[in-house]
């Protein structure tokens, strides 16, 4: 069933007037989806040669970087907004990409003629469209998904959105009737400020506002307009979404953030009762956990129902050994990780805290920290760590593997099926990703603070100086040559060096400062995963 013409027109006008923020979403990266499927027992097509469909691609900020990384892949994006599709098409033309196409198209009209795809991505669409379009999304994920493919769908969920609906309804009451998006948002914010000042201290409304107002104050206008003031926003329970998918011949595989799936991350008081209560049902257990943490948003991976028998939620050591892993482990106080048996707390990715106890644990962490953002093969990581502590690999293998499994469950490791070839150190002739050199933003809106997409499919901010250097990072320019380029930019008044709040103009001072800035910028670009070996 198609959406009515009037509602389609309303949604189209809304997205044309309020473009959705179009940028990479790391959880939806095809390399990540491939690695997740592998971790839970399924082999999927390599992204480098895959066919990919993105539903609701906006201006292509999530899909274009994938196509740029993998010239052997084929990517198709569809979106209701002709304005955003045109923006994305202009970026594709500037980058010279021939393996990607964006189409202004009603999702509901996609049928078998579109063909089958190894990966289907639908981020930020499902909850924000009417019921018939939601059904069309799941139909496409079933009918247009290749036999060994994976579909990714994100959506708002209850129970967390029960409270947020109060805030949304209040914002729409005052902001909805206004004419322009800016007016809608201004009046909606005013409504929340009134309620925040007037709500009783012991009321449900007060507690809801305390939880939601930090989001409202910190989020950008595009997010707020689409999340709280858009014509459609229909959350559901996770169990309900899975049932809808199953009715279409699909099966739940996992969450794009797998650490949320493991009950042991929630403590013994939660783990033991839920394991008894849920009788081995992963879906039921995760639904209980959604209530426990008051979850508001999910990113679900789906596969064809026939593949469900091969899904395994218990970690397989053989599959862990076949992964590429990366991670950051910074000892508290900046101290070096000592290769002894003392306890040493560390800060890991995603703000996680881990405590390392055995020398082999610290050796693994030290190697990952030194290589980051590059990945390492698990087998090589263990062998190198064993040499670091002066023991045979066989003697420390079990302890190292147990550590890696715990870190994967906790969410303290990044992982892929194939190497992430980010530079582990800054080379003498630095080279950046080709797509970033030729079109640094790979996004419709460029500027001094535009983002680039790195090799982990993350948006990373670029300074003006970094943007000036990037086109030259093709592996042929030395550090001195790059510094001379910056000097020329300063002489041509295209770049300014400021030290102690004063512009530098004296040639020798500019020369010395340029060399210093080149080293700092190259190290920053390496840590942002934009340099390659």
- Residue 373's nearest CA partner among 178, 525, 220 is 525
Q: Which one of 165-179, 293-307, 460-474 scores highest in mean pLDDT?
A: 293-307
Q: Give the C-alpha distances (Å, rounded to integers) separating 311 from 41, 43, 44, 282, 322.
A: 5, 10, 12, 11, 17
Is residue 17's pLDDT more than 70?
Answer: no
- Residue 441 pLDDT > 90: no
pLDDT digits (tens, 9 = 90+) for 52-69: 999 999 999 999 999 999
> Which of 9-13, 277-281, 493-497 comes out lowest in average pLDDT?
9-13
For the whole model, what pTM was predicted?
Answer: 0.91
Judge contact between 326 and 414, C-beta under 8 A: yes
Q: What pLDDT sits at residue 446?
A: 42
Count of CB atoms situated within 10 Å of the CB of 297: 15
Task: Give me the sheet containing 344-347, strands edge to edge.
Answer: 330-331, 344-347, 353-356
The answer to whether residues 212 and 206 touch, using CB atoms and an 8 Å cutoff, is no
Confidence of residue 436 (pLDDT cuts 50, 70, 90): confident
pLDDT at 211 over 80: yes
Going by pLDDT thresholds of 50, 70 and 90, the confidence category of residue 3 is very low
Q: 362 near 338, Cβ under 8 Å?
A: yes
d(CA 244, CA 38): 24
Q: What is the mean pLDDT of residues 242-250?
A: 98
Question: Which pLDDT score is estimated for 150?
Answer: 98
pLDDT category at 505 given cuts 50, 70, 90 is confident
Cα 509 to Cα 331: distance, rounded to the nearest angstrom: 37
- Please give the average per-residue pLDDT across 267-276, as a whole number: 92
In the predicted structure, residue 262 carries a pLDDT above the cut 80: yes
CA nearest 322: which of 62, 530, 34?
34
* pLDDT bucket at 439, cuts 50 / 70 / 90: low
- The share of the chain scoring above pLDDT 70, in percent, equals 94
Band of residue 303 on the pLDDT scale cut at 50, 70, 90: very high
The pLDDT score that the predictor gives to residue 447 is 40
Which pLDDT belongs to residue 308?
Answer: 97
- Sorting pLDDT into bands at 50, 70 and 90, what band is 410? very high
Quick check: 94 pLDDT over 90?
no
331 has pLDDT over 50? yes
- Buried b or exposed e, range 207-220, using 16+ CB within 10 angstroms: ebbeebbeebeeee
- Tell me the average pLDDT of the chain: 91
Of 120, 143, 57, 456, which is closest to residue 300 (Cα–Cα)? Answer: 120
Q: For residue 196, which of 167, 164, 159 has the smallest C-alpha distance?
A: 167
Q: What is the DSSP string of 461-498?
A: E--HHHHHHGGG-BS---HHHHHHHHHHHHHTTSS--E
Query: Distance from CA of residue 504 to its chain's centroid?
Result: 39
Half-sphere exposure of 58 (CA within 13 A, CB side): 24
Query: How much is the pLDDT for 180?
Result: 85
Average the pLDDT over 238-267 and give the result. 97
Q: Is the pLDDT reported for residue 333 higher than 80?
A: no
The residue ranking higher by pLDDT, 211 or 26, is 26
From residue 288, give the alpha-carbon distance in Å to each of 86, 152, 281.
43, 22, 11
CB-based burial label for 392 (10 Å; 0-12, 13-18, 19+): exposed
List the single range of 1-10, 171-180, 380-389 with lowest mean pLDDT: 1-10
Q: Once rounded to an integer, what is the mean pLDDT over residues 281-298?
A: 96
The band of 7, judged by pLDDT with boundaries at 50, 70 and 90, is low
Q: Is the confidence at residue 219, as pLDDT, over 90?
A: no
Q: Say which range, 53-67, 120-134, 189-203, 233-247, has the weakest mean pLDDT.
A: 189-203
> Is pLDDT of 354 > 60?
yes
Q: Which of 235, 225, 233 is nearest to 297 (CA)?
A: 235
- Give the per-residue SS3 of 251-294: EEEEECCHHHHCHHHHCHHHHHHHHHHHCCCHHHHHHHHHHHHC
Provide the Cα torsion 143, 145, 147, 153; round to 10°: -120
The mean per-residue pLDDT over the stretch 337-365 comes to 92
Measure the CA–CA gap between 423 and 524, rounded to whole angstroms.
12
What is the CA angle 282-283-285, rounded to 5? 65
Handedness of CA 372, 259, 20, 91 (dihedral sign): positive
Residue 223: band (very low, low, confident or very high) from pLDDT cuts 50, 70, 90: confident
Residues 6+ apart with CB under 8 A from 343: 355, 356, 357
Report d(CA 235, CA 41) in Å as an integer.
30
């Amino acid at each position: 069933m198609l959406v009515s013409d009037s509602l389609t027109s309303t949604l189209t006008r809304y997205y044309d007037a309020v473009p959705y923020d179009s940028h990479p979403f790391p959880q939806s990266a095809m390399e990540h989806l491939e690695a997740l499927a592998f971790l839970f027992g399924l082999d999927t097509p390599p992204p480098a040669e895959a066919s990919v469909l993105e539903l609701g691609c906006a201006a292509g900020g999530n899909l274009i970087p994938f196509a740029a990384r993998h010239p052997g892949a084929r990517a198709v994006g569809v979106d209701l907004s002709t304005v955003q599709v045109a923006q994305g098409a202009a970026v594709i033309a500037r980058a010279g990409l021939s393996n990607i196409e964006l189409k202004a198209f009603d999702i509901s009209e996609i049928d078998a003629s579109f063909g089958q795809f190894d990966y289907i991505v639908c981020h930020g669409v499902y909850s924000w469209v009417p019921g018939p379009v939601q059904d069309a999304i799941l139909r496409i994920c079933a009918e247009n998904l290749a036999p060994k493919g994976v579909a990714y769908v994100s959506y708002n969920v209850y129970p967390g959105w029960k409270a947020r609906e109060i805030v949304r309804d209040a914002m729409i009451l005052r902001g909805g009737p206004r004419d322009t998006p800016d007016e809608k948002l201004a009046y909606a914010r005013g409504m929340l400020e009134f309620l925040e000042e007037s709500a009783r201290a012991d009321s449900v409304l007060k507690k809801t506002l305390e939880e939601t107002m930090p989001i409202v104050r910190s989020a950008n206008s595009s997010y707020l307009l689409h999340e709280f003031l858009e014509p459609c926003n229909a959350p559901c329970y996770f169990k309900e979404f899975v049932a809808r998918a199953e009715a279409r011949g699909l099966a739940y595989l996992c969450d794009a953030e797998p650490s949320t799936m493991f009950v042991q991350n929630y403590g013994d008081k939660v783990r033991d009762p839920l394991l008894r209560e849920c009788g081995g049902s992963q879906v039921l257990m995760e639904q209980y956990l959604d209530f426990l943490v008051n979850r508001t948003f999910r990113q679900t991976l789906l596969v064809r129902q026939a593949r469900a028998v091969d899904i395994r939620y218990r970690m397989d050591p053989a599959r862990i050994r076949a992964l590429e892993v990366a991670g950051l482990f910074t000892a508290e106080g900046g101290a070096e990780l000592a290769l002894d048996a003392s306890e040493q707390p560390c800060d890991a990715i995603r703000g996680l805290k881990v405590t390392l106890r055995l020398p082999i644990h610290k050796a693994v962490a030290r190697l990952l920290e030194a290589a980051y953002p590059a990945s390492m093969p698990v087998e090589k990581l263990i062998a190198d760590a064993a040499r670091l502590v002066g023991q045979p690999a066989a003697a420390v293998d079990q302890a190292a593997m147990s550590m890696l499994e715990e870190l994967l469950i906790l969410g303290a490791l990044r992982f892929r099926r194939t190497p992430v070839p980010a530079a582990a150190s800054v080379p003498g002739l630095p080279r950046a990703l080709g797509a970033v050199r030729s079109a640094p933003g790979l996004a419709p809106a460029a500027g001094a603070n535009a983002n680039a997409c790195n090799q982990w499919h993350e948006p990373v901010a670029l300074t003006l100086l970094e943007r000036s250097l990037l086109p030259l990072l093709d592996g042929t320019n030395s550090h001195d040559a790059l510094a001379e380029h910056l000097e020329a930019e300063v002489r041509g008044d295209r770049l300014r060096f400021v030290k102690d709040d004063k512009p530098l103009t004296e040639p020798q001072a500019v020369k010395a400062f340029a060399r210093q800035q080149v080293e700092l910028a190259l190290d920053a670009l390496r840590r942002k995963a934009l340099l390659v070996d």
